Amino acid sequence: MADIPSVSQSELRDRRRRLRRQRRWRALRGSWQLLAVSGLTAGLVWALTLPDWMLRHPNQVTVEGNRLISGDTIRSLLPINYPQFLLTVQPQAIAHRLEAEAPIAEATVTRRLFPPSLTVRIQERYPVAIAFSSSMQIPSQSELNGSSEKGLLDEKGTWIPYERYVALNPSRSLPTLKVIGIREQYRSQWMSLYQQVSRSPVKISEIDWREPGNLILQTELGVVYFGAYGSRFAEQLRVLDQMRKLPEQVSLDEVAYIDLRNPEVPLIKMAGAVVSPQSPKEENLSENADLSEEGEWIEPETEADL
Protein backbone atom coordinates (compact mmCIF):
# COMPACT_ATOMS: atom_id res chain seq x y z
CA MET A 1 0.00 0.00 0.00
CA ALA A 2 1.39 3.36 -1.05
CA ASP A 3 2.41 5.78 1.65
CA ILE A 4 0.08 8.83 2.21
CA PRO A 5 2.15 11.96 2.52
CA SER A 6 1.72 13.65 5.86
CA VAL A 7 0.39 17.25 6.07
CA SER A 8 1.50 19.48 8.85
CA GLN A 9 -0.90 21.45 11.02
CA SER A 10 0.47 24.76 9.74
CA GLU A 11 -0.26 23.87 6.13
CA LEU A 12 -3.84 22.93 7.05
CA ARG A 13 -4.34 26.26 8.81
CA ASP A 14 -3.02 28.15 5.74
CA ARG A 15 -5.39 26.31 3.45
CA ARG A 16 -8.37 27.09 5.71
CA ARG A 17 -7.46 30.80 5.77
CA ARG A 18 -7.21 30.92 1.99
CA LEU A 19 -10.58 29.25 1.58
CA ARG A 20 -12.21 31.66 4.07
CA ARG A 21 -10.74 34.67 2.23
CA GLN A 22 -12.00 33.36 -1.10
CA ARG A 23 -15.49 32.83 0.32
CA ARG A 24 -15.54 36.33 1.83
CA TRP A 25 -14.35 37.90 -1.47
CA ARG A 26 -17.04 36.06 -3.46
CA ALA A 27 -19.70 37.17 -1.01
CA LEU A 28 -18.45 40.77 -1.09
CA ARG A 29 -18.32 40.81 -4.87
CA GLY A 30 -21.85 39.46 -5.11
CA SER A 31 -23.07 42.11 -2.66
CA TRP A 32 -21.48 44.91 -4.73
CA GLN A 33 -22.99 43.58 -7.95
CA LEU A 34 -26.43 43.41 -6.35
CA LEU A 35 -26.01 46.89 -4.96
CA ALA A 36 -24.93 48.26 -8.36
CA VAL A 37 -27.86 46.67 -10.20
CA SER A 38 -30.27 47.93 -7.58
CA GLY A 39 -28.79 51.42 -7.80
CA LEU A 40 -29.06 51.52 -11.58
CA THR A 41 -32.64 50.27 -11.46
CA ALA A 42 -33.60 52.82 -8.84
CA GLY A 43 -31.86 55.59 -10.80
CA LEU A 44 -33.64 54.66 -14.01
CA VAL A 45 -37.02 54.59 -12.30
CA TRP A 46 -36.26 57.94 -10.68
CA ALA A 47 -35.14 59.43 -13.99
CA LEU A 48 -38.22 58.25 -15.86
CA THR A 49 -40.55 59.67 -13.23
CA LEU A 50 -38.63 62.88 -12.67
CA PRO A 51 -41.12 65.73 -13.19
CA ASP A 52 -38.44 68.04 -14.65
CA TRP A 53 -37.98 65.72 -17.62
CA MET A 54 -41.11 67.09 -19.22
CA LEU A 55 -42.02 69.56 -21.92
CA ARG A 56 -44.31 71.97 -20.13
CA HIS A 57 -44.50 74.87 -22.63
CA PRO A 58 -43.52 75.70 -26.24
CA ASN A 59 -40.59 77.83 -25.08
CA GLN A 60 -38.70 74.59 -24.48
CA VAL A 61 -38.63 74.03 -28.27
CA THR A 62 -35.81 75.75 -30.17
CA VAL A 63 -36.32 76.29 -33.92
CA GLU A 64 -33.27 76.69 -36.18
CA GLY A 65 -32.84 77.33 -39.90
CA ASN A 66 -36.14 79.16 -40.43
CA ARG A 67 -36.27 82.37 -42.46
CA LEU A 68 -39.76 82.49 -43.98
CA ILE A 69 -41.79 80.76 -41.28
CA SER A 70 -41.70 82.14 -37.75
CA GLY A 71 -40.57 80.01 -34.85
CA ASP A 72 -43.97 80.39 -33.15
CA THR A 73 -45.68 79.06 -36.28
CA ILE A 74 -43.38 76.04 -36.34
CA ARG A 75 -44.06 75.37 -32.65
CA SER A 76 -47.81 75.54 -33.24
CA LEU A 77 -47.53 72.73 -35.81
CA LEU A 78 -45.79 70.30 -33.44
CA PRO A 79 -48.00 67.37 -32.32
CA ILE A 80 -47.12 67.83 -28.63
CA ASN A 81 -49.64 67.87 -25.79
CA TYR A 82 -48.15 70.01 -23.02
CA PRO A 83 -47.14 68.85 -20.47
CA GLN A 84 -45.62 65.73 -22.02
CA PHE A 85 -42.76 63.48 -20.93
CA LEU A 86 -39.75 64.21 -23.09
CA LEU A 87 -38.93 60.53 -23.65
CA THR A 88 -42.39 59.88 -25.09
CA VAL A 89 -41.85 62.45 -27.85
CA GLN A 90 -41.21 60.82 -31.25
CA PRO A 91 -38.75 63.00 -33.23
CA GLN A 92 -39.25 61.18 -36.53
CA ALA A 93 -43.03 61.56 -36.37
CA ILE A 94 -42.68 65.27 -35.63
CA ALA A 95 -40.32 65.73 -38.59
CA HIS A 96 -42.74 63.99 -40.97
CA ARG A 97 -45.59 66.13 -39.67
CA LEU A 98 -43.70 69.35 -40.33
CA GLU A 99 -42.70 68.28 -43.85
CA ALA A 100 -46.34 67.46 -44.63
CA GLU A 101 -47.99 70.52 -43.08
CA ALA A 102 -45.55 73.30 -44.03
CA PRO A 103 -43.32 74.30 -46.97
CA ILE A 104 -40.37 72.48 -45.45
CA ALA A 105 -38.04 70.33 -47.51
CA GLU A 106 -36.41 68.59 -44.55
CA ALA A 107 -36.86 68.66 -40.79
CA THR A 108 -34.69 67.16 -38.04
CA VAL A 109 -35.84 66.90 -34.42
CA THR A 110 -33.52 66.07 -31.50
CA ARG A 111 -34.16 65.73 -27.76
CA ARG A 112 -32.04 67.15 -24.96
CA LEU A 113 -32.27 65.80 -21.41
CA PHE A 114 -30.31 68.53 -19.64
CA PRO A 115 -32.15 70.83 -19.71
CA PRO A 116 -35.24 69.03 -21.05
CA SER A 117 -35.92 70.54 -24.48
CA LEU A 118 -36.38 69.92 -28.20
CA THR A 119 -34.35 71.32 -31.10
CA VAL A 120 -36.07 71.53 -34.49
CA ARG A 121 -33.84 72.21 -37.51
CA ILE A 122 -35.64 72.88 -40.78
CA GLN A 123 -34.78 73.51 -44.42
CA GLU A 124 -37.51 75.61 -45.98
CA ARG A 125 -38.86 75.60 -49.51
CA TYR A 126 -38.61 79.00 -51.19
CA PRO A 127 -41.37 79.66 -53.74
CA VAL A 128 -40.20 81.23 -57.00
CA ALA A 129 -43.43 81.26 -59.02
CA ILE A 130 -47.21 81.24 -58.69
CA ALA A 131 -48.49 78.24 -60.64
CA PHE A 132 -51.88 77.41 -62.11
CA SER A 133 -53.23 74.10 -63.33
CA SER A 134 -53.39 73.04 -66.96
CA SER A 135 -56.63 74.90 -67.67
CA MET A 136 -57.03 75.62 -71.39
CA GLN A 137 -58.54 79.04 -70.67
CA ILE A 138 -56.39 81.94 -69.49
CA PRO A 139 -57.91 82.95 -66.12
CA SER A 140 -58.82 86.56 -65.46
CA GLN A 141 -57.07 88.49 -62.71
CA SER A 142 -59.94 87.87 -60.29
CA GLU A 143 -59.90 84.17 -61.14
CA LEU A 144 -56.14 84.11 -60.63
CA ASN A 145 -56.56 85.56 -57.15
CA GLY A 146 -59.27 83.13 -56.12
CA SER A 147 -58.47 79.98 -58.05
CA SER A 148 -58.55 76.76 -56.06
CA GLU A 149 -56.10 75.26 -58.57
CA LYS A 150 -53.44 77.79 -57.67
CA GLY A 151 -50.20 76.89 -55.94
CA LEU A 152 -46.56 77.84 -55.64
CA LEU A 153 -43.46 76.24 -57.10
CA ASP A 154 -39.97 76.15 -55.67
CA GLU A 155 -36.82 75.89 -57.80
CA LYS A 156 -37.11 72.09 -57.94
CA GLY A 157 -40.73 72.15 -59.11
CA THR A 158 -42.25 71.04 -55.80
CA TRP A 159 -45.89 72.08 -55.54
CA ILE A 160 -46.71 74.18 -52.44
CA PRO A 161 -50.43 74.64 -51.68
CA TYR A 162 -51.20 78.34 -52.00
CA GLU A 163 -53.69 78.74 -49.15
CA ARG A 164 -51.46 76.85 -46.71
CA TYR A 165 -48.42 78.92 -47.58
CA VAL A 166 -50.29 82.22 -47.23
CA ALA A 167 -51.74 81.11 -43.88
CA LEU A 168 -48.26 80.30 -42.56
CA ASN A 169 -46.62 83.39 -44.10
CA PRO A 170 -49.25 86.16 -44.06
CA SER A 171 -46.70 88.97 -44.17
CA ARG A 172 -44.47 87.52 -46.89
CA SER A 173 -44.61 88.88 -50.43
CA LEU A 174 -45.39 86.37 -53.16
CA PRO A 175 -43.24 85.77 -56.25
CA THR A 176 -44.18 87.83 -59.30
CA LEU A 177 -43.49 85.12 -61.90
CA LYS A 178 -46.63 83.26 -63.04
CA VAL A 179 -46.80 79.82 -64.64
CA ILE A 180 -49.99 78.77 -66.43
CA GLY A 181 -50.60 75.20 -67.50
CA ILE A 182 -48.12 73.42 -65.25
CA ARG A 183 -48.39 69.65 -65.55
CA GLU A 184 -46.79 66.73 -63.81
CA GLN A 185 -44.76 65.76 -66.88
CA TYR A 186 -43.16 69.23 -66.91
CA ARG A 187 -41.73 68.95 -63.39
CA SER A 188 -38.50 67.33 -64.59
CA GLN A 189 -37.91 70.27 -66.97
CA TRP A 190 -38.92 73.03 -64.58
CA MET A 191 -35.59 73.44 -62.79
CA SER A 192 -33.70 73.97 -66.05
CA LEU A 193 -36.40 76.27 -67.45
CA TYR A 194 -36.58 78.42 -64.33
CA GLN A 195 -32.81 78.81 -64.05
CA GLN A 196 -32.62 80.09 -67.63
CA VAL A 197 -35.64 82.37 -67.25
CA SER A 198 -34.35 83.85 -64.00
CA ARG A 199 -30.99 84.67 -65.65
CA SER A 200 -32.52 86.22 -68.74
CA PRO A 201 -31.60 89.92 -69.21
CA VAL A 202 -35.10 90.44 -70.67
CA LYS A 203 -37.61 90.48 -67.82
CA ILE A 204 -40.10 87.61 -67.98
CA SER A 205 -43.34 87.86 -65.99
CA GLU A 206 -45.38 84.89 -67.20
CA ILE A 207 -44.83 81.40 -68.59
CA ASP A 208 -47.69 79.84 -70.56
CA TRP A 209 -47.03 76.10 -70.83
CA ARG A 210 -50.53 74.95 -71.75
CA GLU A 211 -49.50 73.88 -75.25
CA PRO A 212 -46.62 71.35 -75.16
CA GLY A 213 -45.61 72.37 -78.68
CA ASN A 214 -45.46 76.10 -78.03
CA LEU A 215 -44.01 77.61 -74.87
CA ILE A 216 -45.22 81.23 -74.65
CA LEU A 217 -43.55 83.82 -72.45
CA GLN A 218 -44.85 87.22 -71.47
CA THR A 219 -41.82 89.52 -71.48
CA GLU A 220 -41.06 93.21 -71.28
CA LEU A 221 -40.95 93.14 -75.11
CA GLY A 222 -44.37 91.49 -75.33
CA VAL A 223 -45.57 87.96 -76.05
CA VAL A 224 -42.90 85.60 -77.39
CA TYR A 225 -43.44 82.17 -78.99
CA PHE A 226 -40.66 79.65 -78.37
CA GLY A 227 -42.17 76.42 -79.69
CA ALA A 228 -41.52 73.21 -77.76
CA TYR A 229 -39.11 73.66 -74.85
CA GLY A 230 -35.80 72.03 -75.62
CA SER A 231 -32.08 72.39 -76.11
CA ARG A 232 -32.42 75.57 -78.22
CA PHE A 233 -34.12 77.56 -75.47
CA ALA A 234 -30.89 79.21 -74.32
CA GLU A 235 -30.16 80.29 -77.90
CA GLN A 236 -33.69 81.66 -78.24
CA LEU A 237 -33.22 83.74 -75.10
CA ARG A 238 -29.98 85.14 -76.48
CA VAL A 239 -31.78 86.19 -79.66
CA LEU A 240 -34.50 87.79 -77.54
CA ASP A 241 -31.84 89.75 -75.68
CA GLN A 242 -30.53 91.03 -79.01
CA MET A 243 -33.98 92.47 -79.66
CA ARG A 244 -33.93 94.77 -76.63
CA LYS A 245 -33.72 97.79 -78.97
CA LEU A 246 -37.07 96.88 -80.52
CA PRO A 247 -39.02 99.59 -78.60
CA GLU A 248 -36.77 102.22 -80.23
CA GLN A 249 -37.83 101.01 -83.68
CA VAL A 250 -41.51 100.27 -83.28
CA SER A 251 -44.28 100.74 -80.75
CA LEU A 252 -44.72 97.57 -78.73
CA ASP A 253 -48.48 98.14 -78.78
CA GLU A 254 -48.38 97.34 -82.50
CA VAL A 255 -46.63 93.99 -81.95
CA ALA A 256 -48.93 91.01 -81.59
CA TYR A 257 -46.13 88.58 -80.75
CA ILE A 258 -42.50 87.74 -81.47
CA ASP A 259 -41.88 84.36 -83.05
CA LEU A 260 -38.58 82.71 -82.01
CA ARG A 261 -39.50 79.16 -82.84
CA ASN A 262 -36.69 79.36 -85.37
CA PRO A 263 -34.10 81.54 -83.60
CA GLU A 264 -32.09 81.85 -86.82
CA VAL A 265 -35.04 83.65 -88.46
CA PRO A 266 -36.86 85.67 -85.79
CA LEU A 267 -40.23 87.08 -86.91
CA ILE A 268 -42.44 89.82 -85.55
CA LYS A 269 -46.20 89.56 -86.03
CA MET A 270 -47.77 93.01 -86.18
CA ALA A 271 -51.19 93.59 -84.63
CA GLY A 272 -54.20 93.82 -86.93
CA ALA A 273 -53.16 91.12 -89.39
CA VAL A 274 -55.37 88.08 -89.84
CA VAL A 275 -53.17 85.11 -88.98
CA SER A 276 -53.33 81.76 -87.20
CA PRO A 277 -50.92 81.73 -84.22
CA GLN A 278 -50.22 78.07 -84.96
CA SER A 279 -48.80 78.88 -88.39
CA PRO A 280 -47.24 82.35 -88.31
CA LYS A 281 -44.84 81.50 -91.15
CA GLU A 282 -47.78 81.45 -93.55
CA GLU A 283 -48.41 85.16 -92.99
CA ASN A 284 -48.11 87.77 -95.70
CA LEU A 285 -44.55 89.07 -95.55
CA SER A 286 -45.81 92.61 -96.03
CA GLU A 287 -47.30 92.41 -92.56
CA ASN A 288 -44.08 91.26 -90.93
CA ALA A 289 -40.55 92.49 -90.36
CA ASP A 290 -37.25 90.85 -89.70
CA LEU A 291 -34.40 91.75 -87.37
CA SER A 292 -30.74 91.70 -88.17
CA GLU A 293 -28.34 89.76 -85.98
CA GLU A 294 -27.58 93.01 -84.12
CA GLY A 295 -31.26 93.54 -83.37
CA GLU A 296 -31.74 96.37 -85.92
CA TRP A 297 -35.17 96.80 -87.47
CA ILE A 298 -35.38 95.80 -91.16
CA GLU A 299 -38.44 96.96 -93.05
CA PRO A 300 -39.80 94.52 -95.66
CA GLU A 301 -39.10 95.44 -99.27
CA THR A 302 -41.81 97.11 -101.28
CA GLU A 303 -42.45 96.96 -105.02
CA ALA A 304 -40.92 100.43 -105.36
CA ASP A 305 -37.73 99.21 -103.73
CA LEU A 306 -37.58 96.36 -106.17
The residue out of 99, 124, 149 marking a domain boundary is: 124
**Is the domain of 176 the same as that of 67?**
no
**Is the domain of 145 the same as that of 203?**
yes
Mean pLDDT of 252-269: 93
- Using CA of residue 270, residue 272, residue 275, residue 277, what is the dihedral sign? positive
* Amino acid in the structure at residue 9: Q
What pLDDT band is residue 50 in, cutting at 50, 70 and 90? low
> How would DSSP label each residue in 285-306?
GGGEEEE-TT--EEPPP-TTT-
Domain contains 33: no
Domain contains 145: yes
Look over the chain and give the mean of its residue pLDDT values, rounded to a whole number: 82
> How would DSSP label each residue in 247-261?
HHHS-GGGEEEEE-S
Q: What is the pLDDT of residue 277?
A: 35
Residue 119 belongs to a domain with what CATH number?
3.10.20.310
The residue out of 78, 103, 124 marking a domain boundary is: 124
Mention every residue, 6+ apart, whose C-beta is less than 8 A from residue 76. 58
Q: What is the pLDDT of residue 288?
A: 46
Mean pLDDT of 68-85: 93
**Is the domain of 195 the same as that of 230?**
yes
**Is the domain of 115 the same as that of 138?**
no
Judge whether 100 and 109 are in contact, CB under 8 Å: no
Judge whether 305 and 295 are in contact, CB under 8 Å: no
**Is the domain of 294 the same as that of 160?**
yes
**Is the domain of 178 the same as that of 267?**
yes
Domain contains 3: no
Q: What is the pLDDT of residue 273?
A: 54
Mean pLDDT of 167-180: 91
- Kindly tell me if the per-residue pLDDT of 189 is higher than 50: yes
- Kindly tell me if the per-residue pLDDT of 276 is higher than 60: no
Distance of CA 173 to the CA centre of its chain: 17
- Among candidate residues 121, 98, 102, the one with its CA nearest the CA of residue 110: 121
Domain contains 35: no
Higher pLDDT, 185 or 155: 155
**Is the domain of 76 the same as that of 203?**
no
**Is the domain of 259 the same as that of 110?**
no
Mention every residue, 6+ apart, whose C-beta is less than 8 A from residue 31. none
**Is the domain of 117 the same as that of 257?**
no
Rounded CA gap, 263 and 240, in Å?
9
**Is the domain of 141 the same as that of 261?**
yes
**Is the domain of 234 the same as that of 135?**
yes
pTM exceeds 0.75, yes or no: no
Q: What is the pLDDT of residue 212?
A: 87
Higher pLDDT, 190 or 137: 190
Q: What is the pLDDT of residue 142?
A: 53
**Is the domain of 167 the same as that of 246?**
yes
Domain contains 155: yes
Q: What is the pLDDT of residue 203?
A: 96
pLDDT digits (tens, 9 = 90+) for 115-171: 899 999 999 999 999 999 765 454 555 555 555 578 999 999 999 999 999 999 888
- Kindly tell me if the per-residue pLDDT of 306 is higher than 50: no
Judge whether 78 and 107 are in contact, CB under 8 Å: no
What pLDDT band is residue 248 in, cutting at 50, 70 and 90? confident
pLDDT digits (tens, 9 = 90+) for 25-38: 887 777 788 888 88
The residue out of 63, 89, 124 marking a domain boundary is: 124
- Report percent pLDDT > 70 for the chain: 79
Report the number of distinct structural domains present in the chain: 2
Helix (H) or strand (E) holding 114: none
For residue 42, CA distances in Å to 39, 45, 116, 274 come to: 5, 5, 20, 91
Range of the domain at 262: 127-272+282-298
Q: What is the pLDDT of residue 259?
A: 96
Q: What is the pLDDT of residue 287?
A: 41
Domain contains 156: yes
The stretches of 88-225 forming alpha helices (DSSP H) are 91-101, 141-146, 162-168, 187-199
Domain contains 247: yes
pLDDT digits (tens, 9 = 90+) for 201-242: 999 999 999 998 999 999 999 999 999 999 999 999 999 999
